[in-house]
Chains A and B, each alone.
Chain A
Amino acid sequence: QTVVTQEPSFSVSPEGTVTLTCGLSSGSVARSHYPSWYQQTPGQAPRTLIYSTSIRSSGVPDRFSASILGKKAALTITGAQADDDAEYFCVLYTGGGSWVFGGGTKLTVL
């Protein structure tokens, strides 16, 4: 069974830079996993930030960027703002039409 790993929590100072990662319990994340990133605040539906590794969704500020770093997918927030305080989920395509989400990273901006 495929397990997608994310840091449970992270903190960043306002205007700081933070990189969240998304890995696989066994193996490396590749572009063929089409890693995508979502932001969710309490009581709200997820908001798409990035899909297919690095394509920024419409309306997403360019302080959000993503790539493959080493063996993991990575989401970088440059110049964090107070309203970036949220939970961030990644998802990986595992083949045969299936997707697996990571457990999410709770990002605190303080």
Chain B
Amino acid sequence: EVQLLESGGGLVQPGGSLRLSCAASGFNFSNHAMSWVRQAPGKGLEWVSSFSGGGGTTYYADSVKGRFTVSRDNSKDTLYLQMNRLRSEDTALYYCAKCSGWRPYDAFDIWGQGAMVTVSS
């Protein structure tokens, strides 16, 4: 069974940093692109970042570019999201999502349960 388990969420002050992790199991992790999608309380879904499979190219939404860094450790089947210079508008439930293939246009097909990030003083 494919599973994604996010961790690392919490309360952080504006300007602070946090690192999310997503532990994957049940599929060949290195062969798949992986993504982060967030959902602010009571709002819709917003794509945040993706890391392609294979050679590994990273992509970011304009709203997080320069502040967030996505990475992956294929030896540990784990995806990460390093979030720096956090703002109140980054407050959201962050979902890790497996993509259906390795390419940047392979959409999200399996979702984790999410990790809550709250940015507040």
A residues contacting B by CB (< 8 A) are 34, 36, 38, 40, 45-48, 51-52, 55, 57, 89, 91, 93, 96-104
Contacts and interface: CB of A to CB of B under 8 A. Distances in A.
Contact of B108 (A36, A96, A104): A36
Main secondary structure of the interface of A (DSSP, over half): strand
21 contacts: A34-B105, A38-B45, A40-B45, A45-B95, A45-B114, A47-B111, A48-B107, A48-B110, A51-B107, A52-B100, A52-B106, A57-B109, A89-B44, A89-B45, A91-B45, A93-B104, A96-B59, A96-B104, A97-B57, A97-B104, A99-B35
A93 B105 contact: yes
A3 to B, nearest CB: 12
Interface of B: 35, 37, 44-47, 50, 52, 57-59, 61, 95, 100, 104-114
A26 to B, nearest CB: 18
Nearest to B49: A97
A91 B100 contact: no
Given A46-B95, A51-B100, A52-B100, A101 B45 contact: yes
Contacts of A40: 45
A52 B106 CA distance: 7
Q: Which are the 6 A-B pairs with shortest beta-carbon distances?
A: A97-B59, A36-B107, A99-B47, A51-B107, A97-B104, A101-B45
